[in-house]
Amino acid sequence: MAKRSGTARRRDDESVPTRAIDSVFRFVRFAEFEILFILFFVIAFIIFKDLKLYGKRYNGFVVFAAADYYSTLGVPKSATIKDIKAAYRKLGHQELNMKGAKQEWRPLMNNLG
C-alpha cells in the first residue's frame, strides 16, 4: 500500500469533484441560514419599532416630575416643613384616616420608593 502525499484525507469511494460539490452546498446552506437570520431581525424590527419600549422609562420620569405633591398632600405651597411632614404621616396611616387615603398615598410612595 502506497503512502499518500498531502495532509487531506478522503475516503476511497469519494472522488474529488464530489467533495468540492459538497463543500459548495455546505456553504450555500450556511448562507441561506445567515440570510434567514438577518431577515428575521429586520422583520422583527419593522414590527416592533412602533412599540417604543426603549423610551418608556424616560416618559414615566417626565410624568412623575410634573405631579404637584402639595395638592396630593393637601397643603399650600407656602407650608412649612413641619406641616408637610404632618400631612405625609397622616396619609401614611391609611387605617386611621379617610377611606380615599390609599389612592392619594400611591403616587407619593411610587416616587419615594
Considering the domain architecture, whether residues 34 and 61 belong to the same structural domain is answered as no
90 belongs to a structural domain: yes
Same domain, 59 and 98: yes
- Mean pLDDT in residue range 6-35: 63
pLDDT, residue 59, reads: 47
For residues 58 and 86, state if they share a domain: yes
Q: pTM score, two decimals?
A: 0.30
Instruction: Report the percent of the chain where pLDDT is more than 70.
Output: 36
One domain for residues 105 and 62:
yes
Predicted local distance difference test score (pLDDT) of residue 107: 73
Top pLDDT among 113 and 39 is at 39
Residue 69 and residue 92 in one domain:
yes
What number is the average pLDDT over the span 84-112? 71
Query: What CATH number is associated with residue 99?
Result: 1.10.287
Place of cell 424616560: 58
Domain range for 29: 16-51
pLDDT exceeds cutoff 80 at 70: yes
